[in-house]
A and B are shown apart, each in its own frame.
Chain A
Amino acid sequence: MTRESNVEQRLITYDDGIVRRFIIAAVVFGVVGMLVGVVIATQMVWWQANLGVPYLVFSRLRPLHTNAVIFAFVGNSMFAGVYYSTQRLCKTRMASDALSKIHFWGWQLIIVAAAITLPLGITTSKEYAELEWPIDIAIAVVWVVFAINFFWTLAKRNEKNLYVSLWFYIASIITIAVLHIVNSLEIPVSITKSYSAFGGVQDALVQWWYGHNAVAFFLTTPILGIMYYFMPKAAERPVYSYRLSIVHFWSLVFMYIWAGPHHLLNTALPDWAQSLGMVFSVALWAPSWGGLINGILTLRGAWDKLRTDPVIKFMVASLTFYGMATFEGPLLSIRSVNALAHYTDWIIGHVHSGALGWNGFMAAGTFYWMVPRLFGTKLYSKRAADLHFWMATTGIILYTVALWVAGVSQGLMLRAQGPDGALVYPSFIETFLVIRPLWIVRLVGGALYLVGFLIMGWNLAKTALAGKAVDGQVSVTVEERQGVLAPTRSAGWLLTRPGFLLVLAAVVLSFFLGGANLTTGIVVLVALVVLGGGAWLWFKARPSSAGQPTWHALVEGKPLLFTVLLLVAVLTGGIAQILPTVFAPSAVPYTGEVQKPYSPLELAGRDVYTREGCYLCHSQMIRSLQHETQRYGAYSRPEESIYDHPFQWGSKRTGPDLARVGGKYPNIWHYVHLLDPRATSPGSNMPSFSWTGDYTVDVSMMPRKMIVMQKLGVPYSNVEVDAARDTYRRQADAIVADLANEGVEVPWDREVVALIAYLQRLGRGPQLDKPAPTASTAVPGGR
């Protein structure tokens, strides 16, 4: 439709108040998140630092640390950068101040809810998605509010094209929504407890599809968008290559989504999914370094600023850490390298070079850019910013190098075999004692980074106090539309006979090419639409000349089309990898008792296991590697964990694998170990979980939990559900009697009894009517 229009000049005032609020929140929660990190790093070396308080134990604080740093610190700093740059790139104020405020306060409430629930042990036990279902719903609602505000702002923009930063923001908003919703599918048992809709290998695949892409689309793509905006601003020159940014963007969003399975190499995940994840992870190196080169070379001709401008200094260092992390990531995704590094501190070091170096430094660079401008003054102290930079850089280097050495050392020790083929270090504790000094270096590095961050907070606060809040303005020429004159084009062609025949032909061709298979036909149809649309845009954008928009510029001018293309790009990998496994037939091969559902007591013990975060230090996944099977027993098979909602494969071994710990030790060993780990495993850094001997299990909840499990496909009969309390009591009494024989009196309804039952179950069938292993079967030094 064409419209009459009047041209007028308008002064736009940006909503910079929301940017200031997000910066303050980012700094405050950054301090909290990093402080918790230092506390748990201390506990790794000196377990006593938990003061014997359940809420301060490592395994409950570790999710708080990761959630606080990822979603509170990086999240708030990302939102600050997005709100600041989106308004300026669209030359318009955010569409709704109210939605901006709902987004801000909603996000902070979610963070507070996380800070309360995680130390209480209210957790789903899915890494980086530990928050329980009511908070999951709140996250989805707040994210939708953010998305509406963002896309509404794009719709009312006063700039024809969408700059590359905005593409990255769109990618982040859309993909995080998809990831969060799918990975959070769960059935509630109570207000504070739910079970994942997926189980075992399916849950593992969905979780790491989410986990890896949370890194990709929460910690990387929005920060790249911020880099593409602030780097040219700080360097006072356009981005080095806009063409490279197009390749960078599309290849990154296409490839990232496939890479999740590299978190599950050599596990029970099917080989084809592992190989696909590995190949795409290695290929990711190219687009990642494309972005790195584009950012760094934006400084061409302005390298002198690196000496004087803290903004440039932090951004260049940030990109350098991004380059190192995105080289190390593909390297770690190679199956043989991963066999050494996975479950060790190398991965923790890798993650922190990204979080502290890439995210932390980019956040600092943008804060040092924005705060003086948001308060109409100069940065309070450049020297303090320099001090922050060098303390933080030293801290990161100490941290990552120490954990790299620790990871490689431990990995090599765990696989070392003597001339006779036997393990050189059969006791896991031996490897821990070797790397313990390196954990002290890590602690020093982390503490240095935190002090540097506090200096930044002080510097920014002094800057803000020296000025007063000012909102940016821009003068724009806008067209005021006045009514509809005449139609020029419409989608009515679809209803014409040729149009109808064309659509029909496309559908028939799709199903013919798809071998009359519904799913393949739909995929082929989408492919035809995308390729046909691309060809149409290509020809529409001809002839190629400097004044004519490219086909990509035409797409950029249409946010809805751009978002649809992006969704196709992102969903392609997700659907291809996840659907085959998630919709695999449930009739997996029957291999014995391991596939029988947990007894009520074992299920209760499993809930205690997830609440205490045992999975954060103990895996339940014996990889198909010789030294692993030598140490822990036969490798884990996919059908063994099909009733695990959620899965408990873990991602780090601070202690040994537990997949086949059942029957390895007598009940009394587990009892003593849980209450005083060093009594059974001298030198261990495992905290005491003495409160499990005092807390009681709410046995009345067991039928309800089993009904939820029934809904998830776990084959409990109604008779078993009805008899849950009696069955629970019978099995608990047997364990209590066994402990009494060893001189320990424990009431039957204590959590420790359930936990022992669960641990004795791992790797074998239900232990309902079986005698406990005797002391003679214990394996000394196993931990």
Chain B
Amino acid sequence: MYTAFYRASEYLNLTVVSTVLFVALFLGVLVWVAVEKPQRFDSAARQPLEGDAEGSEVP
């Protein structure tokens, strides 16, 4: 049934190529994050706490 439905479609290979691309990029980011030094992210992580004097508890 589906063979007939997709007969002559030239877009099916997109699924395979895109999936491989996705997995490669994702694994790349994952490996990089795992090996990177955590100290390199400290300043970025503190961004919400900078610049204003809003307290923590509901005033």
Which A residues lie at the B interface, using CB under 8 A? 85, 88-89, 91, 159, 161, 163-165, 228-229, 232-239, 241-244, 246-247, 250-251, 254, 270-272, 276, 305, 308-311, 368-369, 372-373, 377-379, 382, 385, 472, 474, 476, 514, 517, 519-520, 523-524, 526-527, 530-531, 534, 538, 544-546, 548-553, 556, 569, 572-573, 575-577, 579-580, 583-585, 588-589, 637-639
Q: Which residues of B contact A572 (CB under 8 A)?
A: 18, 21-22
Residues 19-48 of chain B, each 1 if its beta carbon lies under 8 Å from chain A, else 0: 101101110111011001111111011111
Q: Contacts A233-B48, A242-B45; is A544 near B37 (CB within 8 Å)?
A: yes
Complex: A544 Cα to B41 Cα, angstroms: 12
Known: A232-B48, A372-B59, A527-B21. A580 touches B6 (CB 8 A): yes
For B8, the chain A residues whose CB sits under 8 A away are 585
Cα distance A465–B59 when bound, in Å? 15
By the criterion CB–CB under 8 Å, are B21 and A523 in contact? yes
Which residues of B sit under 8 angstroms from A550, Cβ to Cβ?
A: 36, 40-41
Choice from A251, A546, A577 contacting B37 with Cβ under 8 Å: A546
CA distance A584 to B11 in the complex (A): 8
**Nearest residue, chain B, Cβ from A245:** B45
Give A582's nearest chain B residue, CB to CB: B11
9 contacts between A and B (CB under 8 A): A88-B51, A161-B44, A238-B49, A305-B57, A310-B58, A519-B13, A556-B44, A572-B18, A580-B14
- Decide if A271 touches B44 in the complex (CB within 8 Å): no
Nearest B residue to A376 via CB reads B59
Main secondary structure of the interface of B (DSSP, over half): helix
Set of chain A residues within 8 Å of B11, measured between Cβ atoms: 519, 579-580, 583
Given the complex of chains A and B, what is the CA–CA distance between A583 and B17 in angstroms? 17
Cα separation A588 to B22 with both chains bound (whole Å): 31
Q: How far is the CB of B54 from chain A (nearest CB, A)?
A: 6
CB < 8 Å neighbour of A243 from B26, B36, B48, B56: B36
B14 lies within 8 A of A579 (CB): yes
CA–CA, A179 and B8, complex, Å? 27
Closest to A472 in B: B52
Contact A163 B44 (CB under 8 A): yes
Q: Which residues from chain B contact A309 at a C-beta distance below 8 Å?
A: 56-58
Cα of A584 to Cα of B5 in the assembled complex, Å: 7
Could you say which residues of chain A place their CB within 8 Å of the CB of B10? 517, 519
Q: Is the CB of B15 within 8 A of A163?
A: no
- Complex: A232 Cα to B59 Cα, angstroms: 17
- Of all chain B residues, the one with the shortest Cβ separation from A524 is B17
Q: Choose from B5, B18, B32, B40 the contact partner of A270 (Cβ within 8 Å).
A: B5
Are A276 and B15 CB-contacts (below 8 A) given A88-B51, A243-B36, A308-B57? yes
A238 touching B45, Cβ below 8 Å? yes
Given A311-B58, A373-B54, A585-B9, CB of A254 within 8 Å of CB of B1: no
The 6 lowest CB-CB distance pairs between A and B, nearest first, are: A576-B18, A242-B41, A242-B45, A238-B45, A546-B39, A236-B56
A308 contacts which chain B residues (CB < 8 A)? 57
Residue pair B56, A233 in contact (C-beta under 8 Å): yes
Is the Cβ of A246 less than 8 Å from the Cβ of B33? yes
Interface majority SS (helix, strand, loop, mixed), chain A: helix
Chain A's closest residue to B12 (CB) is A580
Bound-complex Cα distance A580 to B15 (A): 8
A576, B15: Cβ atoms closer than 8 Å? yes
One of A228, A244, A548 near B40 (C-beta < 8 A): A548
Given contacts A88-B52, A271-B2, 10 further A-B contacts (CB under 8 A): A235-B56, A311-B58, A369-B58, A385-B58, A520-B13, A546-B42, A575-B18, A576-B14, A577-B15, A583-B9
Q: Is the CB of B59 within 8 A of A377?
A: yes
In the bound assembly, the distance between CA atoms of A146 and B32 in angstroms comes to: 34
Q: Report the minimal beta-carbon distance from A639 to chain B, rounded to whole angstroms.
A: 7
- Please indicate which of the listed interface residues B6, B40, B47 has the most CB atoms of chain A within 10 Å of its own CB: B47
Q: CB-nearest residue of chain A relative to B24?
A: A531
Q: A233-B48, A250-B26 are in contact. Are A519 and B57 (CB under 8 A)?
A: no
Residues of chain A with a CB closer than 8 A to B5's CB: 270, 584, 588-589, 638-639
State in angstroms the CA–CA spacing of A637 and B44 once bound together: 53
Q: Kindly list chain A residues whose C-beta atoms are within 8 Å of the C-beta of B59.
A: 372-373, 377-379
Residues on the B chain within 8 Å of A233, using CB: 48-49, 54, 56
Q: Which residues of A contact B32 (CB under 8 A)?
A: 538, 551-552
Partner of B48, one of A89, A250, A575, A637: A89
User: Once the chains are docked, how many angstroms separate the CA of A502 from the CA of B54?
Assistant: 53
User: Do residues B13 and A254 form an inter-chain contact, with CB atoms below 8 A?
Assistant: no
- Chain A residue nearest in CB terms to B6: A584
A638 adjacent to B58 (CB under 8 Å): no
State whether B9 touches A580 (Cβ < 8 A): yes
For A250, the chain B residues whose CB sits under 8 A away are 26, 29
B6 and A270 contact, CB distance less than 8 A: yes
Report the separation of the CA atoms of residues A311 and B56 in the bound assembly, to the nearest whole angstrom. Answer: 9
Contact, CB under 8 Å: A232 / B49: yes
Closest to B14 in A: A576
**A552: chain B residues within 8 A (beta carbon):** 32
| Nearest chain B residue, comparing its CB with the CB of A576 | B18
The distance in angstroms between the C-alpha atoms of A531 and B15, with both chains bound, is 19
Which residues of chain B are near A235, meaning CB under 8 Å?
A: 56
> Distance in Å from the Cβ of B4 to the closest Cβ of chain A?
5
- Please determine whether A270 and B9 come into contact, CB atoms closer than 8 angstroms: no
Give Cα A309–Cα B56 distance, bound, in whole angstroms.
9
- Which one, A242, A382, A523, contacts B17 given CB within 8 A? A523
Report chain B residues within 8 Å CB of A311. Answer: 57-58
**Would B29 and A234 count as touching, CB distance under 8 A?**
no
The residues of B that contact A530 with a CB separation of less than 8 Å are: 21, 25
Which of A85, A311, A556, A584 has the largest count of B CB atoms less than 10 A from its CB?
A584
Which residues from chain B contact A251 at a C-beta distance below 8 Å?
A: 26, 29-30
Of B1, B24, B40, most buried by chain A (CB within 10 Å of CB) is B40
- CB-based contact B47/A161 at 8 Å: yes
Q: Which residues of B contact A569 (CB under 8 A)?
A: 22, 25
Q: How far is the CA of A271 from the CA of B19 in the complex (A)?
A: 16
User: How distant is the Cα of A527 from the Cα of B24 in the complex, in angstroms?
Assistant: 10
Cα–Cα distance between A372 and B17 once the two chains are bound (Å): 52
Q: B47 touching A544 by the CB < 8 A rule? A: no
B14-A523 in contact (CB<8A): yes
The answer to whether A553 and B48 touch across the interface, beta carbons within 8 angstroms, is no
Q: Pick the contact of B2 from A270, A538, A546 — CB < 8 Å? A: A270
Q: Are B1 and A638 in touch, CB under 8 angstroms?
A: yes
B-chain residues with CB within 8 Å of residue A234 when the two chains form the complex: 56
Q: A233-B56, A254-B26, A573-B22 are in contact. Are A242 and B14 (CB under 8 A)?
A: no
- How many Å lie between the Cα of A533 and that of B17 in the bound state? 19
Closest Cβ of chain B to A42, distance in Å, is 35
Which chain A residues lie closer than 8 Å to B18 at the CB level? 523, 572-573, 575-576
Residues of B near A379 (CB, < 8 A) are 58-59
Query: Do A368 and B9 touch (CB < 8 A)?
Result: no
Find the residue from A244, A308, A583 having the highest chain B CB count within 10 A: A583
User: A residues within 8 A CB of B26?
Assistant: 250-251, 254
Residues of B contacting A232 in the complex (Cβ-Cβ under 8 angstroms): 48-49
